[in-house]
Amino acid sequence: MPPNLLFVFCDELRRDATGYSGNPDVHTPAIDKLAAEGVQFRQAVANTPVCTPSRGCLLTGCWPQRHGAISNDLPIDPASPSIARALNGAGYRCGYIGKWHLGGIPRSRFVPPGPERLGFDAFWASWNCHHQYLRPRYFLDTPDPIQPEGYEPAIQTDLALTFLQDHHEHHQEQPFCLFLSWGPPHGPYRPLPPGYEDRYDPATLHLRPNAVDTPQERTDLAGYYAHMTAMDDQFARLMTALDQHGLRDDTLVVFASDHGSMLGSHGYHNKQFPYEESCGVPLVMRWPPRLSPGSVSDLLIGIVDYAPTLLGLLDVPVPPAMQGRDLTASITGGAPGPDSQYLQELVCCDQARQVHMLPWRAVRTRHATYVRNTAGPWLLFDNTRDPYQEHNLIGEESARGLQVRLEATLQGYTQALDDPLESAEAVLTRYDKTEAWAEREVFLHTGRNMAGDAPSVPLAAPKGG
């Protein structure tokens, strides 16, 4: 029988916020164990580092221009290819649990069975978007919200364990695909997970050298880590269940994130920036029969490559409409990987607009990051010599050759993807999203749509992605 796929991902988890990555503070023993038993990717990146576009890339293997969700809260095109649809065609039962954030507005909107679920048809327990982790909620197949008590990642893990138990009892003749999407450590960081309130002392934490050191930044980081440790304990439950059901060798397990978080680095917060803290994401894969345990890879892999690569690892044909690269041969056979990854921010939203960020495009190589925004060349970093990206090389004579080469690479991407660097307004017009964007703006500022209707389930004012 083909192998199963268990894909677990967090929201806004950056690459350095795990024990296996060398972080001296955060406690993540279950995730560290997965890294020791699988492959850890040290140069995985979020091609579009904000929730909705990145999640669309992850599930469809397409760029936002094709899957349609070009900024937060703009709905995905339900006709998009997806990893679940491809796996359904190969006989898999596909389920999805947790945050979705591809269903448009309101954020409490019920995503009905059918095309909008992108092929996750065997099991569905999801909420479009919220960040109130002690008020968990989800929909099944009817528009009646289920609102249990407890810590949301624990409730979602319970649902995943139920899915695994049901598979063991009733569906062993079919492979499964299960995506589990946890909301933390995306802010707000408080209230803290029950039982983890005193886990981290803000005063003892090590901030990144490029971070602003203030009591608030330390308090935020302590909360961020508390959620990580709480989720690590849930991850341990999942791994125990796989072993108990005899699924260890038959399941490709992936641990990932949709994008990172600045957490005070360079004086910024949240995501949408081209810095490593925002674009650099954790990625671990474990599958004992095919992936070398304890290996470390410097493969440049982007989130847009995940779906085609996972399908390649599972020996399932990659849909021709997927734009990402199948990097299976680079993971299992040592074939050369890509020399660069393309990064983009098409329509700056929410916190990015508060700091007057301009839309940008970037090239990330193994050793450098080059960024152009709508005002011109913006950032150039030697990531080997300057891993915290504190010295911008734009305009320096010593870096002229590097900038010229990376500018040519960047232009190659923008032409190949028909992705001109232009204003947010021009992008919204180009992809016929102006009306949907206006609807989003009204909702996020008032809690109502343009017709004046409130969401069916009242929520606090939405923040972030």
- Which positions are catalytic? 51, 101
Neighbours of 294 (CB within 10 A): 10
Say if CB 327 and CB 71 are below 8 A apart: no
List the structure tokens of 185.
């450590």
One-letter amino acid of 158:
D
Neighbours of 141 (CB within 10 A): 13
| Cα–Cα distance, 49 to 271 (Å, whole number) | 6
Say if CB 202 and CB 220 are below 8 A apart: no
List the structure tokens of 3.
């192998």
Nearest-Å Rg of the Cα atoms of the chain is 21
- Report which of 363, 344, 349, 347 is spatially closest to residue 423, judged by C-alpha positions: 347
Judged by DSSP in three states, 58 sits in helix
Say if CB 328 and CB 255 are below 8 A apart: no
Lookup result for tokens 């899915």: 163
Neighbours of 357 (CB within 10 A): 17
